[in-house]
Amino acid sequence: MKKERLKENHQFLAKTISGLTDHIDLFETVQDLSRKIISQFDRKKIFQTFSQIVKEVVAYKYAAIFLFDKTDKSFFEAYNTGIPKNRLIKHLPEEKVITWVMYQGRWTVITDFEDKKATKIYSILPIVGREQSLGFMYIVTDNDESFYNRKFTSILGFVASQTAIALENLRLYDKIKSSQAYLQNMVESISNGIMAIDMEGKVTLINRNTTAILGIKTRQIIGRHYMDFLKGGLKKEVNKIHKEIQSKGYAVESMVSYRPYKEVQITVGITASLLTDQNKETIGTIVVFRNMSASTEIKRLTRLDKMKSEFVSNASHELRTPLSIIKSYTEALLTQVEHEDIETREHFLSVIDSETDHLTGIVSNFLDVSRIESGTYGLDYSQFSLKELVNSVIVRFKAKLTNIDIFTDFKGDTHVLDADEDKIREVLINLIANSVKFSPTGGIVSITVLERDKSVICSISDTGIGIPKDQLPFIFDKFFRVDNSDTYEIEGTGLGLSIVKHIVESHGGSMVAESILGKGSVFTFSLPKKRR
Amino acid sequence: MENEKLKERLSSIKSLPTLPVVASNVIQLTQNPDSTAPEIADAISQDQSLSSKVLMTANSAYYGFPGKINTINYAIVVLGLNNIKNIVLSTSIMERFSESDDDFLFDRKQFWQHSLLCGIISKKISEHMGIKNFEEMFMCGLLHDFGKVVLDTYFHEEFVQALEMAKTQEIPIKDAEYKIFGFNHSGVGALLLKRWSLPPSMVKSVEFHHKPDEKKSVKRTASIVHVADYLCRRIGIGSGGDDVTPTLNKKAWNLLELNAEIIKKMTIPIIQEFKSATGFLGNEKDSE
Ligand SMILES: [Fe+2]
Ligand SMILES: [Fe+2]
């Protein structure tokens, strides 16, 4: 009797245990599958996996997933499976039924099995998130009354809740992605180069300006160590600043000369600041690169501006001097010089004549500059010999000069050019006058003309005071005057050389200046023989 | 001590109240993960009066399904197995223990109103706390004082003594019961529900509804029932047989993270639901 009962108990236990094991197996399978849902970050894949798992539980004919649209408080079909393409599910249940099921929050069959007319069974599986309903799966199966039980109800409920988590994660993920894009846009719109590195020195963020300024060609920079792709002095300097900021918490801006591309030399300013998380823990460094060459350009423009205002004062001085000389000599001629004193009159008139020439020269220089600036400076071509032109120009100088020697040296035969003769005369006058002006008494100005295959080269050298090396690159700039305040007081508008260079270049020629301070300067221009 | 006395007394009863066979079968079936809807529908259909009660409750405003539920099968798939189990269980128990003895001191109608209200409040609190199985919490609340019915049925004279004592001495009924029986209704109810093989969590929640902080495994659910029981008196619908408002267990109250504001907001929906749920009391016809 007792044995019998024991046996019965044993059988009952065995049955219960095997039932339990079955359920545990099933739940483990479902759990594995659900993990697949949660690990998805693509809506379609989430829906696919969700539908697959549901199909393993309820062998549906077709199913569709509807999502709620929060803005217009409606739902739309987001996915379906088992339905021929481009067709939507027919016979959607009444909205109040859907609302009721969503409120209950569990898988609900909405077709009566006993309804003889029902050929298919419709059911709704709500997808409910942590705080709101996200949507539901609408499931259509054949009329099989045996598929509704507790086990399937709880499995479907579990899978739907996992799907809800996956969808909410996806929303968060999208949110993060869009705020990342927002940040990226901001970082890209900054004209400086910005690079964030983590505690290990690996790049976590970089903008295009960094790669542009530094000429980095490496494609994939994110995740790489900055020592891997930075070069030369820049690498050393960034490393120094990074170490400095991590140990001291601040770093002084430093500058480094750098060659991002062949033949481009720039000055890069580097600053850095600490990168911290929401708990104020240091998580890396932000390095900012600034192309200082841009500010060099600003410096140049500021200097040009200063030169312009200097020019105005120079020019007025330049004009006033000959004018006042002319005025006082004219006055003297009219009031003080005797009619009979022809010698004095001749002398006074020649002074007035030469000062008028001087004045004409200055004014024509001004006109040339304004013509160049307005673009109306045209060339009037003709054939002439440069040798003859040089000779005719130095005759004028020689007539006036007694204390400076001018030598000429012509190599070659013809020296014939096709150019604007008046303009080239101006070039020669300007260059020779310049050399003469800066030469001390007893100095020598020599003019050499060489002939090449297609061009004629002319050099004018003097034994003058020379030009300081740092000022040499600017002498052809408009209004530039060599700063010689502690040597000679020599007048000049500063327009001459810039006009000269412009004339030579507009003929397709070129112009260079060399100089040694205290020994003298050489100005050389070359002109093509044939008009271009 | 208490337990032994209780067991001793109950064993003296020749025929302990049993759940109707049909109800008991249905409950077992709904708890079996593999039972299908037609199987359960078959079991319910064995009892004609149970069937019609199930359909009536399923169609009641309490569930508010926007459509007509004509068959038991449909009721099962629409309302779900937990709801069906609750409907079967509550209607069976109430039908079995609803006959009033015209006793002045223990009005059955008042008692089931108290029970129903306690069930609804328990459910509402659970919903508020985000407890998934709030339908089971409804059952816990509904059956929390079930022991009183057992005492009234099987030890009627002594139970009336306890009721009188509670009244004259102005003490809670559970204390009066203890003085007379050496145990009280919570233990009796739990013991019976256990015999009916209801879920252990439900049995324990009933057993500890007066001292919810004493049993770790059901701390949450017993606390919900305890607080709901307390709130029933505050709302003033139904009666548990005594007039003394029991002391509120502070630990239980704190555990539920409720406050006056939340309770105030809950009260109207609770009363509305109570009105719609009178079908549970089996007297929907009376009120019509
Ligand atoms: Fe009680
Ligand atoms: Fe109570």
Check which CATH number belongs to the domain holding A402 and give it.
3.30.565.10
Number of domains in chain A: 4
Could you tell me the end-to-end alpha-carbon distance of chain B, in angstroms, rounded to an integer?
A: 49
Among A115-119, A254-258, A488-492, B153-157, whose mean pLDDT is lowest? Answer: A488-492
Residue A6 sits in the same domain as residue A138? yes
* A338 found inside a domain: yes
Residue A120 sits in the same domain as residue A97? yes
Q: What is the pLDDT of residue A267?
A: 83
Residue A47 sits in the same domain as residue A160? yes
CB contact under 8 A, A112 and B33: no
State in Å: Cα A175 to ligand 1 middle: 51
Closest chain B residue to A157, measured at CA? B132
Strand partners, A457: A450, A526
CB contact under 8 A, B80 and A97: no
Of A149, A152, A155, A156, which to mutate for an interface test with B (greatest number of B Cβ within 10 Å)?
A149
Instruction: Provide mean pLDDT across the span A9-24.
Output: 76
A70: pLDDT strictly greater than 50: yes
Residue A135 sits in the same domain as residue A226? no
Closest chain B residue to A130, measured at CA? B130
Residue A266 sits in the same domain as residue A312? no
Closest chain A residue to B130, measured at CA? A130
Output the DSSP codes for B1-56: -HHHHHHHHHHT-SS-----HHHHHHHHHHHSTT-BHHHHHHHHHTSHHHHHHHHH
Range of the domain at A263: 190-296
Residue B271, both tokens: 């009363």
Strand partners, A202: A225
Q: What is the pLDDT of residue A532?
A: 66
Residue A22 sits in the same domain as residue A170? yes
CB atoms within 10 A of CB A259: 14
Residues 6+ apart with CB under 8 A from A12: none
Q: What is the residue whose two structure tokens read 């045209």?
A: A378
State in Å: Cα B173 to ligand 1 middle: 8
Ranges of residues in chain B whose predicted pLDDT is under 70? 1-3, 14, 99-104, 279-288
State in Å: Cα B185 to ligand 1 middle: 7
Q: Give the closest-approach CA distance of A215 to chain B in angstroms.
A: 58
What's the Rg (C-alpha) of chain B?
18
Q: What is the pLDDT of residue B103?
A: 60
Classify burial at A395, counting beta carbons within 10 Å of its beta carbon; exposed 0-12, middle 13-18, buried 19 or more. Answer: exposed
State in Å: Cα B209 to ligand 1 middle: 7
A75: pLDDT strictly greater than 70: yes
CB contact under 8 A, A149 and B73: no
**pLDDT range class, residue A311, cuts 50, 70, 90:** low
Residue A501 sits in the same domain as residue A430? yes
Residues 6+ apart with CB under 8 A from A350: none
Closest chain A residue to B80, measured at CA? A108
CB contact under 8 A, B73 and A112: yes
Among A75-79, A172-176, A473-477, A502-506, whose mean pLDDT is lowest? Answer: A473-477
| pLDDT tens column, A491-509 | 555 567 877 888 888 888 8
Which helix (H) or strand (E) segment holds residue A253: the answer is none
A402: pLDDT strictly greater than 80: no
ipTM: 0.83
Given the DSSP bridges, would you call strands A510-516 and A520-528 parallel, antiparallel or unpaired?
A: antiparallel
Q: Supply the pTM of this predicted model.
A: 0.60
**pLDDT range class, residue A123, cuts 50, 70, 90:** very high
| Domain stops at, among A124, A142, A175 | A175
Q: Which ligand is in closest contact with the Cα of B111?
A: 2
- pLDDT above 90 covers what percent of chain A? 9
Residues 6+ apart with CB under 8 A from B113: B237, B238, B239, B281
State in Å: Cα B248 to ligand 2 middle: 12
d(CA B126, CA B120): 10
Q: What is the pLDDT of residue B284?
A: 43
Q: What is the pLDDT of residue B287?
A: 36
* Residues on chain B touching A154 (C-beta within 8 angstroms): 33
Instruction: Provide mean pLDDT across the span A251-273.
Output: 83
Is B206 within 8 Å of B186 (Cβ atoms)?
A: yes
* Residues on chain A touching B78 (C-beta within 8 angstroms): 108-110
| pLDDT tens column, A438-495 | 788 888 889 999 888 888 999 999 888 888 777 777 777 766 655 544 434 445 555 6
State in Å: Cα B278 to ligand 1 middle: 21
d(CA A321, CA A316): 9
Residue A27 sits in the same domain as residue A155? yes
Instruction: Calculate the average pLDDT of chain A.
Output: 81
Strand partners, A406: A445
* A183 found inside a domain: no
Q: What is the pLDDT of residue A490?
A: 44
CATH number for the domain including A147? 3.30.450.40
Q: Long-range contact list for A79-87, CB < 8 A, 24+ apart?
A: A79/A44, A79/A47, A79/A48, A79/A51, A81/A48, A81/A51
Q: Which CATH class is domain B1-9+100-288?
A: mainly alpha
- pLDDT above 70 covers what percent of chain A? 88
Report helix, strand or coil for A193: strand
Is A531 within 8 Å of A381 (Cβ atoms)?
A: yes
Q: Give the closest-approach CA distance of B11 to chain A in angstroms.
A: 23
B64 touches chain A (CB under 8 A): yes
Residue B76, both tokens: 């099962």
Q: What is the pLDDT of residue B216?
A: 87
Q: What is the pLDDT of residue B203?
A: 94
Residue A289 sits in the same domain as residue A302? no
CATH number for the domain including A352? 1.10.287.130
Residue A514 sits in the same domain as residue A390? yes
Of A113, A117, A125, A139, which to mutate for an interface test with B (greatest number of B Cβ within 10 Å)?
A113
Which helix (H) or strand (E) segment holds residue A233: the answer is helix A232-248
A300 touches chain B (CB under 8 A): no
Residue whose C-alpha is closest to residue A76's, from A127, A129, A136, A157: A136
* Residues on chain A touching B77 (C-beta within 8 angstroms): 108-110, 113, 123, 148
Domain ranges of chain B: 1-9+100-288, 18-96
Classify burial at B73, counting beta carbons within 10 Å of its beta carbon; exposed 0-12, middle 13-18, buried 19 or more. Answer: buried
Please name the residue ranges forming H helices in chain B: 2-11, 21-31, 37-45, 48-58, 72-79, 81-96, 108-129, 134-142, 146-154, 156-169, 173-181, 185-195, 200-207, 219-235, 250-255, 260-276, 284-287
* A233 found inside a domain: yes
Closest chain B residue to A131, measured at CA? B130
Q: Give the closest-approach CA distance of A102 to chain B in angstroms.
A: 12
B38 touches chain A (CB under 8 A): yes
Q: What is the pLDDT of residue B206?
A: 95
Q: Which amino acid is at B148?
A: K
Q: What is the pLDDT of residue A444?
A: 87
A148 touches chain B (CB under 8 A): yes
Residue A108 sits in the same domain as residue A120? yes
B225 touches chain A (CB under 8 A): no
| Domain stops at, among A296, A331, A355 | A296
CB contact under 8 A, B77 and A109: yes
Which helix (H) or strand (E) segment holds residue A182: the answer is helix A150-189
Residue whose C-alpha is closest to residue B126's, from B278, B270, B284: B270
Is A282 within 8 Å of A199 (Cβ atoms)?
A: yes
**pLDDT range class, residue A187, cuts 50, 70, 90:** confident
* A271 found inside a domain: yes
Residue A354 sits in the same domain as residue A341? yes
* A202 found inside a domain: yes
* A184 found inside a domain: no
| Domain stops at, among A350, A374, A398 | A374
